Structure formats: C-alpha cells, structure tokens
Structure 1
C-alpha cells in the first residue's frame, strides 16, 4: 500500500527516519526543529498507511524494510528515468538485458530486478495498483514489466519493499515489491525543461514536463494533471572506442568480420579465397574499411574491423506520458477518486552487421562445388553502402508502445472506526514491433540468380551442386538490389488486466496492552489476457522448421485467465514494545480448463525495547503463478550459436570443454525451439528476514537486515550450453557433471547425418530450485553546520552472501556467487553493490554528490574456462574485474521563489568499463560485461524548473 505521510509519533526513531525521507531538501531549520521537538510525546497520533501493510499505524517503519526514493532524490542524484533509479539501486545485483544486448528478445524495453532474481520475480505497482505486463517476453520466455513508460518528472516517490510479499500482494512478489507513487498534489502550474548530451557523442536528450492542479470553489473537487515529453537520440557503437571495432588487443590475433567468406566444410571449415581482385571491388564498404584479411589457421577473406560499430548500444526514444488524479468529496464520509496514466512511446534500435547478412548454410547446409571438389558455404554481410541512404539508420527496428492504466473507485468511513475502499483498475499494453527482415525466398533467389547459378543436381543425394560465379560474389550491391529482398514486418501483441478490489479496514478493532489492534480484509477478482501475434511470415513451418523470413522465426501465443483472491491482515500490539502482525492470502487462477490455487501467509514481529531501537523480523511464504506466456506460448524457434562440444571432441580427441579456442565448432549456429506448458504448477518460496533499525540521535538512523529465500519448482528452460555440454559427456561416455540428465540431453538435441546440430529443444518445466541469502544496510545522517547550512549523508549496501541454483532435481547445486561460469550464464552477478551520497544545502544552493559501486565480477577468461586458475597460452589470466564506481554531481540554485536552475553531471570522471582487452579474444566485439556496465561515459544536463503557482 502507498505511504500516506501525516503526523508521525514523535519518537526518536520516527523523527530520524522521517528526516531521512526528506534529506535532499532538509536544511538547518529542519535539523534544529527536529532536535528541539524530538523528545516530545504526542497526545494524539495520526496514523499512516505504510508500504508492506494494509493497516494504518503510528510508525513509519514496521517489520519489513522499505526504501523510499523521493522526487528530490531522483533529481539531485542525477537519475534520468525510473529504470535508471531501479537499475542503480543496490538491490539490483544481477545483470539485465536491454539496449546493449543486440538482437535480444526485448532490446527495446527497460527491465530491472532485485537480488539477481529474474525481473518477473518483482511485483511492480503504480499508486498501489499492479502495472500492466509487457507483451513481449524477456529472454524469449518470461513475463516482466517494462518500466520505461513511467514519467519520472511526475513521480512523487518510489518505494522498494525487498523480500517475499505474496501474503499481501499475491503472485510475482517473490523478490520484492516496487511501488511507484505519482504526484497527488501540486503548488500550481509547474514547467520543467531539461536538455542533455554525452561527452563521447550520441544520446542527446530533451525532456519537458508540465503539471497543474485545480480545486473547485467549494473545495470538494480536486484535480492534478501532468504531461511529460521526451526525445532521445540513440548511441551507436562507432561513437565509443570500446564498441566501435573488434578487439585489437586481445589474447588472440584480432579477427575482422567475415563479410565475404567461403567456408570449406571439407577442410575443417577453413576458408577458400576465390576473389581474383583481392577484395579491391569492395574496399569502399563500411566507410572504406573493408579489405583483404587473413585469419591464422583459417585463410583469407574480405572483412572490416569496424563493422561492430554499426549497432546501437543505447536505444533512441520519443515518448509522451499523460497523468491525471482526481478526487470528489460526496460528503464528509465518502470520496470518489480516479487515476489515469497513458504512455505513447516509440523506441528505435539497430542490431548491427552481425545480424545483417546472408549465407548458404541456412537453406542448404553445405553445397558442393565440383570444380573445387569441396563442400562449401558462402557468407556475405551487408554494409551501409549496400543499404544506401542513411545506411543502418534506415533499417532500424521500432517498438511502438501504447498503454494506459485507469482506476475508478470510492472510499469512505462507516461506523466509528471502519474504513472502506472499492476500486476498479484496467490496464492495457499494446506493442507493435516493426522489425527489419530479409525475405527468405527473395534473398535466396537473388543470390541464386547473381552468384550461385542454377542447381546442377545433388552430391551424395544430399548436397545441392552449384558452380558459383565467385567474382560476382565479391561485389557490392546497389541499394535497389538490397531493397528487393528486404523490408519490415510487424508483430502485434497485447496484454489486458481488469481488477475489482474491495478493502475493509479497522485500525482500532480492540484494545491491547500495547495499543489498538488493527484488521484489514481485501477481496479482489479479475481477468487478464495475453496475445502475441507475429506477422504470419515469421512463423516457422512445422516440417522444415523455417519461416518465410530469412534467419528468423517468432513465437505466437494467446490465452486468458480469471482469478480471485482474499487477503487478511491482523496487527496485534501485544504490549508496548512488542507488536505481532499476521497476514494470509488465498489466490486462485482459472486457466486452460483447470484451477491453480495457492495460499500464502506471513508472520511479522516488531520489538521496540526503547524509542530509538527497533528489532524486526518476518517469516512467510511466497509464490508465482504460471504466467499466461508460461502456459500458452506456442512452439517458437530462433537461431543462436553455441560451442558444439561433441563435434569438438570428434575433431580433436584431446579436447576438453574448458579449452575451445582452437576448435572449429566453438561458435556453431543452430535452430533452437521452446514452448509453453499448460501443466505447470506455481513456483513456491519460503522467505524470511531479520534486522534492526537504530536511531541514537534524532538526525541519525542505521538499519541492517538479513533476507533468505528458498525458491522451489521454478519454471525454467535449460541452458542450451548446459544441454550441449551434458550431451557431450553422455555421447563420449564420461561422467556427466552438467546439469542435465542423459535421457533428456539425447532427446532434446537433434543432429544431422554429419553430426551437425540441427535443433535444440528447451520447453518450460518446473524443475529448478534457488536458495538466496542477502544482507542489506542503510545509513542516514543530517548534520547542521550553522551558517554553513546543513549536510545530508546517505548510504546503502547489499551483499549477496549465498545464491545457489539446482537446475534439475538431483543435479549438483551451482554456486552463482563463486562459480565464474554461472555468474555470467545467469545474467552476470555482482556479489555486492553499494551507493552513497552527500548533499550540502546552504541558502539558495544545494549540491549533491552521488557514488554508485558495483562489486567485483569474474572476467571473461574465468567464465570461458570455468576456472579461477586458468592461464591461456598468451599469458592472460582468469580472475576478477575490479569494483566499478561512478560518480554523479548536481548543482541546484533557487534563482527566485519560482525558478530553480540545475546542472547535473553524471559519471563525472567519464568512467568506462574495466578495460581488460587482453582477457578477451580478438574475435570479441564487446570486450566488457555489457549486462552490468555501460560505455556511455560522462553525460551533462541543464534543467530549469518554473513554478507559476508560488
């Protein structure tokens, strides 16, 4: 539930914690006032509703920790969006996919999670009501929330509630709850203008917001409305030294992109070079960087070192959000209310040249050239010059997001102490993904007509025979030719959710020695639906496993479900220092002809031996119901690549999985398949936390909390790499140390006549278990320095002290915090994360310095070798990336009573990801961990806030 800040009990703990909430705008006057009044006793206590409890109470903190990030925090610490706030939170210890992860399933979305758990394990609320789910699936399989469409300028505060919260909030609240509370009041017409840019280039932004309020003459009707508009340019890989080219300082020789290459399958996939002009005809491509290249041990080809720069590493965006909140007092006991939030957002991105190519392997596997007496494959990338016009800017993908959330309801009081609230919420999210594609028949026909020539039969009854015109292969093409086999297709998807919710609350049900007992009861019901409909040409043929789009297939799926739930919470102040809170909830989902139900409960304890100290703890259960995509996702396919461990062993009998650099099959492309499962059961979890809050002074507070999760029956898809590793162990008769049984591995990996991988199938199953333990700490301190104003200090820290995964029942437990391989596979964990800020307020000036630190993470060699002790032949060592700290600085000046001017500099020191180029091979295009770090560099913003109402 949202926090309603009224008058708090004047204990030292409450004063210190409330001061912490107001720290960014707290001045000397506030510090002096709190010191003078901090020891007074309140005779009448106004109760507040605290996130994590349904019952109004007289304490800001209860048995569950709550982190509050105010609007002033957001502005003064330099956060540029709601996703920026959450992704920089110390709770975000895991990596995430987004604008840097080219060709991921949700490259256009902005995700965040908590404690290294998947984003879908966090419940997201807006004004206490669940957000609409994003229609596309995270990592191609998981439902999550895209937080990109929340207007940051209209946020009042963000409240983060860590730990399992299903006993109050139901499904999805395993990692925690994030409640984004938008403004409910305004001082009059306010206009905010912000412009920003990056010192390294790209990413220019402009943001404008307007908000105003209206109150009727009789005071019964109140309205606040706001609009935010934002326009942001993308950042391209070529605008950063770290991403503009292949790794030229790696432990192996740098390798340019294989833009024109003939792969000889009859000679261990070495290269044939058959260009009589030695690449002279294509040297103008990729900005004049194309040329004759040699890869030691493989051969010659035409390529460029600069082609990785033709991808975006930060999405472009144009977005408009509209928000309104209204109340109408029918009488002294009844109030009607309504909320509306709409989002109209277009996001654009380019996946780059690595995903913009053609080859014979997709249709033929290999073809046979009788003149060369070899099985061959052609591979040809497309350059900006082939595309014409603005090059890759002309074939960018665009995600069109259209969503709204509307709530209508009423609240009031009857009797002496009974409060009621009845509201209906509807959310709808429509997504149109406009993707650039190659049409399969058209592109194959083009290269048959211009390069391959007519088919001359088959070789060994399997391989088609061609006598290609190789001189024509090593040629640029006209933009008209490129346009003849390319274009755009749309995928339409939608989620809809309807919820009717009624709450009955009595904060003074009966008296106990410690105060009044409280009771809250909630009944809710609703329906939800999901539909994902790609262009029909994107769907794979069940026989050929191919689609009409070259190199791509997509997923389709749709379904709906009804649900209802009953929640009860009872707060019992057994005696003055001790309060016990019991909560229970029953959820039922009717889906696919059956009912899935789950009860959850929690028991919370607060013990206050003195006013300045709170000892707290909670035990409970949590769950996540199978999502609609888990149940209804159809058979989907995708092309990916992995190490083919089995073929590596056939090529070299001395092969070991930790040494794949010299294997021909270290990056083999194949077709992957996945699907939903209507027989899935809920994910279950036992969760508990224990901690304390201590306020030895009115202006100082310290909190420390320990959290524990035991998550069972997780819906998971086996890692393709682990499946192939298990298959290798099983086929070679070795002890299977991977996470997959032999029966499963051999059934789900399909191979062709030459042992090449044809497909890998990974359906959704209830198989996995996770155990997680974490410690969090928070410190807040206000210091009055007299005529020099006031200083506000704040810090947060998270340490994941244990995180293990058991992928299959009976499999070996995987340590995600100490095994370097799995620290990457499971979205790149950092064991620790911390932030700190200091704000100085003096007169009309407020300055805030903010630091954010990501703890050490394994480097690439530790991951690829699966060993901390590995040293390769070039002397590069497995080990750690150093801790990564960035600094933001803001300067705010109250020029007049109505005008605030701000200068904000993020990443002041222009910190880039830890440069360990020697730890990556020369084939790498991203020699850093792009799940946790970014190469954007320093950014600067100028902002003016004008309030017409003061």
Structure 2
C-alpha cells in the first residue's frame, strides 16, 4: 500500500477539531461502512488510522502534514452533515452555507441564460471568482454563459449521495490553484472506499404542491488480487417534478399588496399614436376596444377563465388577466443519472495505479412564462398606419395555455440536456526508500450541452397574423411615407387560436455547446525534506500542461432572423495553458510555522497574444500553547480572461429596456417606480437590439489578498475560529446590464452626472438613438478591463461536543459571515460606489449564519439546522439612486429557515429517516414596496418561495 506517514503528536487543538469531524459519523448506515465483522483487518486499520491521525493532505496545501487547521481556514461539511441537515444537492449545501452571501440567478428567474445550472456567489463576488475542484481536480466549465457573458461552474450535476465531504477554502488561493481562485476554493470529495453494497432510497414532496422528487443510489466497494486491487462504483438516479408559479400564493398573480393596484397582463392590446396629425406623447395610448372585441367576451375563457376587459389609468383599455404570472416554472423539472468509479492497483509498496471516472447526464425542463410567450407587430413593422384610426398602431398578442392544446404550457417547455465527464489516470508512489513521493497523471474533463428552446418562427408567425388580422399591405402612410398601411380585422385579432394554428408557427431550435480541458500534471513531494527546530520541513513542486476549449454554436436560425424576437450568443476558441507551482512548509520553531508558495501560469490562445501571471503567498501559524493558534496569510490571486471573454463572437440579443431619459422628458420621474410604471409602454418596455463580443486583448484580473485569524480549543470538545479577509481587486472585466446602462444614460443626459465624465462619455457611445425621434434602437455592452473592487469580510465558527450519561451525545456547530466592506469603481476616474450601503448596485445581505444541533442516543439521532440571513433592501431602495433615502425605502427583516431530521437505526444495516426542510414554511419577508405590475414581489436572488418540503429516506448496507 503506497502510504508513508509520520504520526501526529496530538495537541488539544487537533484533538478537538478531529473529534468534531468524527463524532457525527457515529450514526448512519453509510457512516458505518465496514461495520460487518467480516471486514476485520480493514476496519481495524481504519480505526487505528483515525486514532493516530497520520499525516494527511489538506485542501489549501500540497504537502501532507499533521495539522487539521493551518494558516488557510477550511470549512468541512461531511456526508453525515449533508444527510442530517436535509440538503438535497451539492448546490443546496453550498447555497445554504454562511459564505454564500451573494445573490445569484437560479431557477426562480425562469428566463436566465443558464436556466438549467446552479451556482453560488461566495462572499458576494461573481460566481466565476470561485474555483471548484472534484477530488482536487478542476471541474469542467458549464458551456453556456452566466447572464449571457461569463464562464462559471455548474454544481447541480454532482451525485450528492456519493459525496464524502465538501471543503470550502475561503480567500485568494491562486498561488496553489491558479486562475479563478480569488473568492476561494471549493473541493468536493467523492467516496473512495466502502465495504459491501449500500442502497439509498429517498422520496420527497412540497407542502404547497409541485416539486415531488425521487432519488435512488447504489454504491459498492470491492477488493481483489490479495488486496492490491481496490475500487468503488456508484450510481445515482434522480427525478423531480417542476414547481409552477401558480402553485404559490405569492407568484400566482400580479401583486395585490403593492404600491399600486394590480395591473393585468396586456394579452390583447392595440396601442400607438391615435391622432397622427397631432403626433407626440400626449396622444400615445391604447386604442379603445372595437365593437368586434365584444368586451373581450370572445377570449374570456383563456388563462383558465381569468381573461377579461381591463383598464390602465392614463393608457386605456385592453384584454388581460391578473393570473398570467403563474404560467412559468419556479423550479425546473429534472431527470439525472450520475456514475462514478474509483480504482487503485498496487504494483508494489512504492507504486500505485489510480483511475477515476465521474459521468453525469442531466435533463431539465422549464418554462420562461407568459411574459416571453407572445407576438407583436413592432418586431417586423415597428408601427403601421391604420387609416380608420388615423394613427400609427401596434398590435400585441399573448398566447394562453388554451391556445397550445390539452397540456397547455407544457407544450411550450424548454429543455436543457447535458453530459459531463471527468476522467483521471495516473500513478503515484515513492522513489525507492526515500521520502520523495510522486504523482504523475492526466485528467480530461468535458461538458456537452444541448438546449432545446421553444421558439416562434419569424416568417410563419408574421404571415399568420398578416393573413388572419392585418390583411395585405395597402401602401405607405400619408404623413411620413415610412410606415406600412394595414386595415386590420380586429374581430379576428380578439379571438383564440387553435392548437393546430399555434403549432404552425412554433417549434423547437437546438443549440449545442461544449467545454473541455485536458491536463497533464506531475508533482513531487517531500514532507521531510530537512529537520528544523519545530519539525520536518516539506516541499512540493508541480508542473502542468493543459489544452482548453470552448464552443457555443446556437441554432443558425437564431442568428439569421428566422426566429421571432430571440437571438443568441455564439463563439468558440482554444488555448494552451502551462503552470509551475512550488510550496515550502517550514516549522521554524515548535510554535511557529512558515509556509510559502508561488505559481506561474501562462495562457496562449489560438490567434491571440500570450498572457502570463505570477502569484505567491506567505502564510504563518503561531501556536503559543497547544490549545491556541494565530494564523495569517498574504498573497496574490488572479483570474485569467475566460475563453468566452476572449472568443465570444459579435453576438446580438433582443432585450426590453426602460428609456429613463425619454420617460423623464415626458414628465415621469425615473426614481419613482410607480411613475415609471405609468410611462408609455413604448418607452417603459421598449424592445431594442443589443450586441456584445469577446476581446482577445483582455488581461488577467488581479488581486492582493490576505487573511488573519485565530483558532482556540479551550477543551478537547470545544473549539472556536475567527478570521478576517481582505481583497484588493483591479483590472476587472466589466459588462454592464442593459437596465443599468439606460439608467446611467438618463443621468448623463439629464445633467445629474457630468456629461463629460469618463462614465458618461463611455455610456453615450454605447446607446444608439434614432435621429428622427430620439428612440433607442441599439445598445452595446462590451467587455473591458477597467473596474476595481475592495472587499473585507469576517468569518467565525464554533464546534461543541457534549456527552451525557443518560441523555446521549449532543453536537453543536455554527458558522457566521459578515461582509465588512465592498467598494467598487466601474470606470477609472469615477467615484467609488459602496455596495454595502447603495442597494441600487447590490441587494446582497451583509450577514449570514448557520447553526446546527445534533442529538445521538442509541439507535436514534436528530438534527435541527438553522439558516439565517441578515437584512436586505426592499424593492424601492434597490431601484432608486437615492437608495435608503428614497421615500418608502427600508431594510427587510432578518430571514430564518429551519431544517429538521429524525433518524432511526431500525436494523443493524438499515437506517430510516424523516426530514423536513423549511420547517416553519417561511416565505420571503413581506415587501410592500413592489408595484402591482410584478408577478414576483420578492428578490429571487436572495429568497425562495418553495416553502416546506418533506423527505422519507431509507439507507441499507448489505455488507460484504
């Protein structure tokens, strides 16, 4: 067996921390792998190893060592923690962790660019600032781009039942792990050994409806060839139903408790300039319902009978429903299968072959909602002239579930199917009888994604409505000679559509994308390089070569205009990567250890210039007594331009923007959501074309990082940690949101900001307006190295183990994170924005904490897990530049959720569990500042409306 180690002289600190890790494993069939007496030697070896605590390799260091806590804080969530706290996925584990303070897009957004993926924002930084590893090897990047522009990792496809532990390493770690490790590193360790076969069955449901799930996993460990061949194989299968917005009271209809009355959707709308001879804002509005509409009677059965005649003050009448927000998914339906295999073969005492394989196939289904399932004349014709009205007119028509057939909106679902692979092969061991070890191997990751998008075909849908409603074009308008003339049949417009007709102009378009990363890596290590007063010095040196690839190929019809109202992001490229890493650990004294590391990375993109980066770190551990350690680290970190940053093609997209400037010119205050709501539709919800592209000239994002902290174990059963982190980040790649760009443009044109400032000059260059009427026609959101950011955060944790004679054992642990500072400068020369006190730029909480208590007695165990989130801004505070000074702005109350579980060891090899997540059925805190025009009166980046869920679980170990 290729293991050489020196045993730890156990300090009280190590004993406390190690006991805290092991005690929760005292219950559970999976945790008792090898409990069968036939496992004999293996079990005794494991017990001995656990008792003596041999040198181990911890996340945050390449050198095996005897300390569980080092200069780099590591948070560990074990498999038993995952099970007892009710977590349903790896993303659930991480999103409910205290370091996950940043809001991210998820399934509740319904129409994000990466609807089928899940991620976190560690310390409020962007998802791409966190490095994800599986068994110490980098994960494959998700092929689609987060928010349409950024590369990130999807963590929804990792088999949760086959995870041994998850380690979170906060702070900059690039000197060991390279690019992306600015916010921190997350290492997901899969199971590597098991005696016999284990079977896990789990079923769940939500009290509010929807989201029912079933999961089964099987894992089997084996040994052969006189113990020289060892392995583990495991399979997990999961199926989950969607949650629809109509299944939750808060999202089934337009907001009934907002700052304005509920506003029904405009499903049948005729709007425009009703008196062309008096062209201007004063005559813009809705054209009255014609007699042929029969007061919406012809369509009042749509949307479940909720369609009817509606009126918006200042605009006019139309046909709509208050319940259309319910026709979107809040949580994706899902079917997933994962397989993992781990194999080792000992050639001799000094050489071991290893092979690992992780494969995942995942299919998710979702619906973007009624707001995105419509047709209008504006996309093709802009406006048309109706001589009977003597006005420039547009038609808008939403599609109801009854238009789509018996299954309604299920007939227009979107589906993402993905296949992800990670394979590793290598050999490790020792050079003869020396203390030099080696690990030479290769890893290949690949992620393939197929997005099957429900679309409206541009020519068929326009032809259908022209044939049925508009009729033939009758020339050009008499005033400008620029707008086509139609005399619509309004009676035909205010009619339902047959499912056959709907199918004639809709269908599916398939887009394919993939990422891959091939890496060859060699490392040599000597944990006993030479002796120092405090112990043996250690050295590790590693060399890497890799080839990275990204390709996103949308269906060509997204790019040539064949698809109505939708376009796509395209691009692709490859690059070589080289890296060299060295780490030196030196116990200078019994109480003082110094660790240094350095790394050189270079990237050579095809067709672009080579870029490289050197990073380093210096860490100190000071132990004045056995029970106390002070620690600190200073270093540098970076993020290389991603392949999408470099190779994203000149891609277009359609988006709806609010023209804050023209709204302000029309007398509507952009700082007042209610007034913007009343701004004419053509300005407050204007569809424009946007462009974005990659940049081969981008440079790395740089960061100076440091942390300092203390670990204290006053007794062998109690420990505390507290750490402070600082980031100074510059050269950030920035791409503004369309809405933020339009709001900034208003501020510049209105003279609120200096029109000659760098921000205003850049902003006005990115917004294109028509010369004739000043309407926005196009926006450009480029990627450039320009922004700076400074952040400070603090974390704290504790573990306490209490054993009693009569009441069993109690295990408590807690984690707390507070963001102390988050300042950002978007463009050079601009004032710095305080993201903590300016809710317009960030709605993330400053504080987050978790607390867990577990009771174990005999065959019973129970856990109560609390997740706490501090105050966040309400809606008005987040949309007004006045922030908390805006009328009605305030902070929402703290938010608590509780998970609870009870487990019973029914038989020696059978454990039964009942789990309840969100025990008190907490919904997002009430926010009365949302207007009546929203169907989601809560911040979906921070809160969930899923509510209480229940799970039954059975875990059986068949033994050898």
- Shorter chain as normaliser: what TM range? over 0.9
1:751 maps to which of 739, 764, 769: 769
Aligned ranges 1:830-849 → 2 under 5 Å: 830-849=845-864
> Residue 905 of structure 1: CA displacement?
0.3
Q: How is 1:699-848 mapped onto 2 (pairs within 5 angstroms)?
A: 699-736=717-754, 741-752=759-770, 753-823=772-842, 828-848=843-863
1:859–1:656 Cα change, 3 Å: closer
Q: CA distance change for structure 1 residues 328 and 645 in 2, over 3 Å: closer, same or farther?
A: same
Deviations 1:701-734 (A, max 9, x none): 0000000001110111023233223322333444
Which position in structure 2 is the counterpart of 1:663?
Answer: 679
What does 1:149-164 correspond to in 2, within 5 Å?
149-164=157-172
Residue 946 (1) aligns with residue 956 (2): yes
| 1:405-433 Cα deviation digits (max 9, x unpaired) | 00000001014210000110001110000
**CA positional deviation for 1:661:** 4.0
Aligned to 1:909: 920
Residue 499 of structure 2 corresponds to residue 479 of structure 1: yes
Once the two structures are superposed, what CA deviation does each residue of 1:147-173 show, in whole Å capped at 9, x if it has no partner?
111000000000000000000000010
Paired position in structure 2 for 1:191: 199
Greater alpha carbon shift after TM alignment, 104-113 vs 199-208: 104-113
Closer/same/farther in 2, CA of residues 380 and 727 from structure 1, 3 Å limit? same
Task: Give the distance between the partners of 1:98 and 1:923, measured in 2 at CA.
Answer: 22
The Cα offsets for residues 198-246 of structure 1, whole Å up to 9 and x where unpaired, read as 0000000000000001100411000100000000000000000011000
* Runs (5+) with no aligned partner, structure 2: 32-49, 275-281
Quick check: 2:755–2:761 contact (8 Å CA) kept in 1?
A: no
Which residue of structure 2 aligns with residue 882 of structure 1?
893
Q: Contact 1:9–1:59 (CA<8 Å) still a contact in 2? A: no
Residue matched to 2:38: none
Match 2:596 to one of 582, 594, 605: 582
Residue 425 of structure 1 aligns with which residue? 443
- 1:510 partnered with 2:530: yes
Query: 1:686 — aligned with what?
Result: 704
CA contact (8 A) 2:5 2:54 kept: no
Alignment partner, residue 302 of structure 1: 319
SS of 2:341's partner is: strand
Q: Does 1:676 align with 2:691?
A: no
Name the structure 2 match of 1:180.
188
Q: CA deviation at 1:492?
A: 0.4
Given that 1:739 and 1:807 are in contact with CA atoms closer than 8 Å, whether structure 2 keeps it comes out as: no
Contact map agreement 1:714 1:768 (CA 8 A) in 2? yes
What do the CA deviations read for 1:449-471 (whole angstroms, capped 9, x no partner)? Answer: 11111111222122111111111
Distance 1:298 1:394 in 2: 33
Match of residue 41 from structure 2: none
Q: Which residue of 1 aligns with 2:905?
A: 894
Indicate yes or no: 2:570 matched with 1:533. no
SS of residue paired to 2:736: coil
Greater Cα offset, 885-894 or 289-298: 289-298
Q: 1:35 matched to which residue of 2?
A: none
- Aligned match of 1:865: 880
Q: 1:818 is paired with a residue of what secondary structure?
A: coil
Contact (CA 8 Å) 1:726, 1:736: kept in 2 or not? no
Alpha-carbon distance change, 15 to 503 in structure 1, aligned in 2, over 3 angstroms:
same
- When residues 5 and 332 of structure 1 are mapped into structure 2, their CA distance, relative to the original with a 3 A threshold, is closer
Mapped partners of 1:176, 1:483: distance in 2? 48
Q: For the residues of structure 2 that align with 1:184 and 1:855, how far apart are their CA atoms?
A: 38
CA distance in structure 2 between the aligned counterparts of 1:237 and 1:7, rounded to whole angstroms: 57
TM-score (norm 2): 0.94
* 1:361 maps onto 2:378 in alignment: yes
Mapping of residues 543-554 of structure 1, within 5 Å: 547-554=561-568
Quote the Cα distance in structure 2 between the aligned partners of 1:566 and 1:190: 41
Partner of 1:390: 407
Q: Return the offset for 1:650.
A: 2.3
**Closer/same/farther in 2, CA of residues 102 and 782 from structure 1, 3 Å limit:** same
Cα pair distance change 1:43/1:845, threshold 3 Å: closer
What secondary structure sits across from 1:378 in the alignment? strand
- Aligned mates of 2:362, 2:26 — CA distance in 1: 36
Choose which of 660, 672, 682 in structure 2 pairs with 1:645.
660
Instruction: Please give the alpha-carbon distance, in whole angstroms, between the structure 1 residues aligned to 2:440 and 2:222.
Output: 24
Q: Are 1:726 and 1:737, in contact at CA under 8 Å, matched by a contact in 2?
A: no
Distance 1:269 1:944 in 2: 64
Instruction: State the secondary structure of the residue aligned to 1:822.
Output: coil
Asked if the contact 1:690–1:706 (Cα under 8 Å) also holds between the matched residues in 2, the reply is: yes
1:263 and 2:304 correspond? no
Q: Tell whether the 8 Å contact from 1:4 to 1:48 is kept in structure 2 after alignment.
A: no
**Candidates 670, 693, 716, aligned match of 1:698:** 716
In the alignment, what sits opposite 1:52?
Answer: 60
Does the CA-based 8 Å contact 1:4-1:49 persist in structure 2? no
> C-alpha displacement at 1:131, in angstroms?
0.4
Does the C-alpha gap of structure 1 residues 5 and 417 become closer, same or farther in structure 2, counting only changes over 3 Å? closer
- Cα gap change, 1:850 to 1:733, in 2 (>3 Å): closer
- Partner Cα separation in structure 1 for residue 300 and residue 263 of structure 2: 17
Q: Paired residue for 1:466?
A: 486
Structure 1 residue 326 and structure 2 residue 328: aligned? no
- CA–CA separation in structure 1 for the residues paired with 2:84 and 2:107: 25
SS at match of 2:200: strand
Supply the distance in 2 between the matched residues of 1:731 and 1:845 (Cα, whole angstroms): 68
Instruction: Give secondary structure in 2 for the equivalent of 1:124.
Output: strand
Check the 8 A contact 2:671/2:881 in 1, yes or no.
no
Alpha-carbon spacing, 1:362–1:256, altered in 2? closer, same or farther (3 Å): same
For residues 671-717 of structure 1, the C-alpha deviation after alignment (integer angstroms, 9 at most, x for no partner) is: 22211111100000000000010000000000000000011101110
Aligned to 1:171: 179
Name stretches of at least 5 consecutive residues in structure 1 with no aligned partner: 31-41, 541-546
Deviations along 1:586-645, one digit per CA (max 9) or x if unpaired, are 000101332110000000000000010010000000001111000000122222223212
2:512 and 2:196 map into 1 onto residues whose CA distance is: 40
User: Aligned to 2:93, what secondary structure does the other structure show?
Assistant: helix
Which residue of structure 1 aligns with residue 511 of structure 2?
A: 491
Partner SS for 2:461? helix
Once residues 670 and 435 of structure 2 are traced to their aligned partners in structure 1, the CA distance between those partners, rounded to angstroms, is 75
CA drift at 1:495: 0.6
Contact residue 794 and residue 837 of structure 1 kept, 8 A: yes
Report SS of the residue matched to 1:630: helix
Give the match for residue 645 of structure 2: 630
Q: Quote the offset at 1:738 in angstroms.
A: 11
Work out the CA distance in 1 between the residues paired with 2:867 and 2:671.
40
> 2-side partners of 1:496 and 1:14: how far apart?
40
The question of whether the paired residues in 1 share the 8 Å contact of 2:749 and 2:755 is answered with no
Asked if the contact 1:722/1:739 (under 8 Å) is kept, the reply is no
Instruction: Call closer, same or farther: CA 1:755–1:503 in 2, change over 3 Å.
Output: same
**1:8 offset after TM fit, Å?**
4.4
CA 1:244–1:4 in 2, change beyond 3 Å: closer, same or farther? farther
* 8 Å contact kept, 2:839–2:884: no
Write the distance in 2 (CA, Å) between the matches of 1:380 and 1:109. 31
In structure 2, do the counterparts of structure 1 residues 893 and 5 end up closer, same or farther at CA, with 3 Å as the change threshold?
Answer: farther
Distance in 1 (alpha carbons) for counterparts of 2:207 and 2:662: 47
Matching of residue 600 in structure 1 with residue 615 in structure 2: yes
TM-score scaled by structure 1?
0.95
**In structure 2, do the counterparts of structure 1 residues 310 and 655 end up closer, same or farther at CA, with 3 Å as the change threshold?**
closer
Are the counterparts in 2 of residues 126 and 180 from structure 1 also a CA contact under 8 Å?
yes
Q: Is the 8 A contact 2:262 2:932 kept in 1?
A: yes
Q: Give the distance between the partners of 1:795 and 1:740, measured in 2 at CA.
A: 46
Contact preservation (8 Å) 1:24, 1:76: no
- Does residue 453 of structure 2 align to residue 416 of structure 1? no
Counterpart position of 1:926: 936
